[in-house]
Each structure stands twice: as C-alpha cells, then as structure tokens.
Amino acid sequence: MECEEIRADLRLQSPESIKEAQKNREILFELNHTMPTTPKYMELLKELFRGNIGEGSFISAPFSSMACPENIRIGKNVFINGNVLFMARGGITIEDNVQIAANAQLISNNHDLYERMILTCKPVLIKEGAWIGAGATILPGVCVGKYAVVGAGSVVTKDVPDYAVVVGNPSKVIKILDEKKFL
C-alpha cells in the first residue's frame, strides 16, 4: 500500500487536542472497568470510536493503550480479542469479518529518529476476512490483504498479499490460500 507519510509534532498540540486525549483516556478507563457485552460497554465502544464500529463487531477489554481512536474505522462482524494495542495517529482501517487475536499491535505511527517529539505516521489497512494471530505486530503503512493470515508473534513490515499466510520477524509469505474455499 503506497501512502504518504504524515508528520505530527507533539510539542504543538492544541489545548483542544489535549482535552480530547484526556476524554479518550477517561472513556477507555471506564470501558476497561465495565462488564463486556452489556449495553453500557457497547455504548462506551461506540463513543470511543465515534460511532466508527460496524454492526456485529466486538472488542474485548482490556485495551492496554490507545492513541487517536477517532482515526480508527472498524467494519461489520469484526472480533478483536483483549489487550490489543492501537496506535492510530496515522489511521487504522479494519474491514468487515476480520479477526484479531489477543495482544496484537496495530501501529500507524513511529518517532522520527532524530527529533523524537515528531511522529511519522502512515495508515494501516486490514482487509476483509483477514486474521491477525496472537501477539502479531502490524507496522505503519502496512496493508494486510483479503483473507490473509498473519501468524502469531509475526512482525509485519510490508504489505501482505490477499490470501497469503505470513509468519516470522520480519514476516515472510509461506503459503497462499485457495480463495475458492472461502464462502
């Protein structure tokens, strides 16, 4: 996925953005201390993601950390297990029917190597039906293809083709799934 890098200087945050970040931390704290699947929990999820979470989708608490939830778009029938880390200043899009296992990390921002208060940001895209294994890390600018599988513990540094299975650090394609077998 070719995408332009966006740079954000953390020293130049507006009072409004600081207030918004505090509000997000408060919602996240309350969410992590609310019984999952209750109406209150689902209401907090919708509030945190500004309504950008599709019907039938569910995210298990706890979230270990989150930056810029307003930059996250979650499709329909997505399941995300507990302790997933979203660093979303660069944007994260998760399409329909995706499964993400516990302790995965979706990271769309990094720090400039020389000016550490500047974030370098590129969006992350997880396409329809993809499956991200436990503890996998998806780095900035990466697109995980349709129905692709990212093996547990893998570190994904470049795009994953549709229907590919990738494993390792850095991840490598080890298999291409038969797309005719998907309903």
Task: Give Cα 143 distance to the centre of its chain.
Answer: 11
Residue type present at position 7: R
pLDDT for 99 equals 98
List the chain domain ranges: 6-174
Average pLDDT of span 85-100 = 96
Q: How confident is the model at residue 37 (pLDDT cuts 50, 70, 90)?
A: confident
Look at residue 1 and tell me whether its pLDDT is greater than 70.
no
User: What is the domain class of 6-174 according to CATH?
Assistant: mainly beta
Q: How far apart are CA 136 and CA 148, in angstroms?
A: 13
Residues recognised as catalytic: 111
The three-state (H, E, C) secondary structure of 53-112, written as one string: ECCCCEECCCCCCEECHHHEEECCCCEECCCCEEECCCCEEECCCCEECCCCEEECEEEC
CB-based contacts of 124: which residues, under 8 Å, 6+ apart?
A: 90, 91, 92, 93, 106, 107, 108, 138, 139, 140, 141, 142, 143
Look at residue 65 and tell me whether its pLDDT is greater than 70.
no
Q: How confident is the model at residue 125 (pLDDT cuts 50, 70, 90)?
A: very high
**100-119: pLDDT as tens digits:** 999 999 999 999 999 999 99
